[in-house]
A and B are shown apart, each in its own frame.
Chain A
Amino acid sequence: MAELTALGFGILTASILALAAVGFTVQFSVTNILNLAYGDVMTGAAFVAYVASSRGLGGWWGLVFGGLFGAVFSLALNRLIYTPFIRRGAGLFTMIIVTIAVSLILQNLMQAIWGPGFFSLHIPAGASVHALGMALTESQLVVVAIAIVAMIALHSMLSFTRLGKAMRATASDPELARNCGIRTGRVTDIAWLISGLFCGLAGVALVVDFGSFQSTTGGAFLVPIVAAAVLGGVGQPYGAILGALVVGIVSELSATVIDPAYKDVTAFLVLIVVLLIRPQGIISEVATSKAVAA
């Protein structure tokens, strides 16, 4: 029953991926920036959780601090670096170099501060729960639960609140939204906050799942995140959830068939194949309006 066990891990990976990919895609849909520093903000959140746990606020407090850090830091990143560059007329071309530069700076600053070693949040894994041939520890189940709750919260926000409506409007046509009296600047800020919150939560969840982490952990996880977001249709939160399920389960299942060392390659290949065959993703509305494929 190796496949069922792998399916369990696949769902776990998919939960973390979904958290991260939804955050990534919410921000992209509103701002149109492909933020390649996203993975490193995740690592930053993990380090914040680590510092909190070494100050005595261990355990699941890490999620709170990680999420808060992610939200505030992402907003600051946009206000202090990305928006000024865009105001100066930097196009997509320049912005991708800017985000990679930011990613390098963050990753190496963390390495300079904490060194190249591995760190752990020391969250007890708890007893192992067996169901339907899948075996997950209690802490892993909590991660899955958090992802589900966060998805439901985001869905309610987008569907039932004025803010959610404003965000969807800004994502599909910023000009029109502004002309209708939506304060798109504020919506953009909120999008970065929400994206950062998901980013921070995903970062902490990721290192709880991995058990240990270092300064490159989040950056290495970026490609599956982007794969999930693009597969579902970039800018589509529900698409990102779908994409996360596919990428998470496919990459864990593939590890039962091929050498697990190539597990990452599966996610990479999914991304490339999607970009080549259907770059607008499964749900294509936003991606088409942003002209991702010429």
Chain B
Amino acid sequence: MSTAWQFYLTTVLVYLGVDVIACWGLNLQYGYTGILNFAYVVFQSAGAYTYAVLTLGPVYRGDFQQYIVGMSLPFPLPIIAAGVVGGLLSAVIGVVGLRRLRSDYQAMVLLVIGLIATTVITNASGIFNGAAGLSLIPKPLQSHLNLTLIGYQWAYVLLVAVFCVIIYWFVHRITQAPFGRSLRAVRDHEQAAAALGKNVTALRMTSFIIGGVIAGISGALLVGFIGAWSPGSWLYQETFIFFTALIVGGTANNAGAALGALLVPVAFLEATRFLPQFGGPGLIDALQWVAVGVLTLGFLWFRPRGVLPERKRSLRLPEIAGPPGPAGQSGPAARPVGAPRVEDARRRA
């Protein structure tokens, strides 16, 4: 393989790993818990900025970029800190954003929080260098490893792969555990879960925070690779890409989330690079976004449960007569409570 192709392949692999990790975090929130977090990319961005300011070192007077904190911590610490900041930010925003509102209102609150974050970070140039963003962010261990350019690229692929394995193991464990079952119960029928003694608020909050930690880590891994981060990298539309990935791949299915990350942000958006350039500036980008929107609508219409649908977990119980539960007006699903068949299969409603 020529060097150029290796460089391209490793870059795509790193993007894939980062997107897969981000999709797992969002899947935990949206797929398993039913939180429409339209500010998801803000948490990824929080991780990216944390990584940046903890590796860039102190700011000098007259430096071309201004930012807060300014430290240069050794390798694993900035990534861990990115996760911590993602989680803390989720805790703060969760208190405000997860109030008991109708689900579309809640989505709107989170969307608006995302817009506020973009506006503030763009205009307050002292925090993360404003609209220009941060650049020349050091790559982890690059000065220590003494590798060739391509060698380092492959090393980074390995690093991202290790994180993928750790995070997959983690989300797989918690979604298979009784905790995951509780999350699905909250998603499918909040009142029923509460009636069974589940602390709905705490469960939603925990899922939101874990998702935030994962988003933060994905942001750190991404920025450590590309070396620059600005408000243009995390417009609210980016969150929509992750939602599309989940809808295409399959919500509440970690393999589906990974497949979605492969199909939408990586395959679908990378494929257009190989098209001949045509039209004016920005035309291909605009058509890409149109295609993403059409893809979402198409999947919601034809295959709302995605390529790899959520596994049906059903349990045969002895026949008992139970009154049909109240038909919930809002919320993801209105399923009779106390019906003889207990299953988690989710009506996308």
Contact = CB atoms under 8 A, between A and B. Distances in A.
Interface in B233-283: 237, 240, 243, 247, 279-283
A90 B123 contact: no
B342 interface: no
A234 to B, nearest CB: 9
Interface string B60-72: 0000000000000
B129 to A, nearest CB: 15
A102 B301 CA distance: 13
Contact of A96 (B107, B329, B331, B347): B107
Given A272-B113, A291-B102, 11 more contacts: A81-B297, A91-B348, A91-B349, A92-B103, A105-B294, A108-B287, A109-B290, A265-B120, A272-B116, A275-B101, A275-B105
Q: Is the interface of B mostly helix, strand, loop or mixed?
A: helix
Interface in A100-119: 100-102, 104-105, 107-109, 111-112, 115-116
- Chain B interface: which size bin? 35 or more
Interface of A: 34, 36, 81, 84-85, 88-98, 100-102, 104-105, 107-109, 111-112, 115-116, 223, 226, 259, 261-262, 264-265, 268-269, 271-272, 275-276, 279, 290-294
Contacts of A276: 96, 99, 109
B108 interface: yes
B336 interface: no
Contacts of A98: 297, 300
Given A104-B240, A279-B105, A294-B330, A112 B349 contact: no
B332 interface: yes
26 contacts: A36-B108, A88-B301, A89-B349, A92-B102, A92-B330, A93-B348, A94-B348, A97-B36, A98-B300, A100-B38, A101-B294, A102-B297, A104-B289, A104-B292, A105-B294, A108-B287, A108-B288, A108-B290, A116-B281, A264-B115, A271-B112, A276-B109, A279-B102, A279-B105, A292-B105, A294-B330
Contacts, number: 147
B296 A223 contact: no
Given A93-B34, A108-B287, A294 B294 contact: no
Contacts of B293: 101-102, 104-105, 108
B105 A89 contact: no
